[in-house]
Amino acid sequence: MATVEIACTYAALILHDDGIPATAEKIATLVEAANVSVESYWPSLFAKFLERSTSIAPLWVKAMKDEIQALESNHT
């Protein structure tokens, strides 16, 4: 997963955890606060996915799988 995708995923998860709707503007604000440069379409893409999804679980699972893979590759 690219840095842009990770940043948007974590922003969406933070918003979800706080019970705040994950709009493109809110995702972009969190990503910007983290000093990550993203093309303007990324937050919109994630927000649209979340609007259509019944669960945030797919993002959570993807983020955790990528994190585990990164940790495993650092230990070998």
pLDDT by residue (tens digit) across 3-35? 888 899 889 889 988 989 999 999 999 999 999
Q: Which two tokens stand for residue 7?
A: 């940043």
Class of domain 3-74: mainly alpha
Per-residue pLDDT tens for 21-70?
A: 999 999 999 999 999 999 999 999 989 988 887 677 676 677 777 777 77
- pLDDT at site 39: 94
**φ/ψ (deg, to 5) at 33:** -65, -25
User: How far apart are the C-alpha atoms of 62 and 46, rounded to whole Å?
Assistant: 13
Confidence check: pLDDT of 1 > 70: no
Distances (CA, A) of 8 to 53, 72, 74, 75: 16, 23, 23, 26
- For residues 3 and 50, the answer to whether their CB atoms sit within 8 Å is no
Q: Supply the pLDDT for residue 76.
A: 60
Q: Is the pTM of this model over 0.75?
A: no
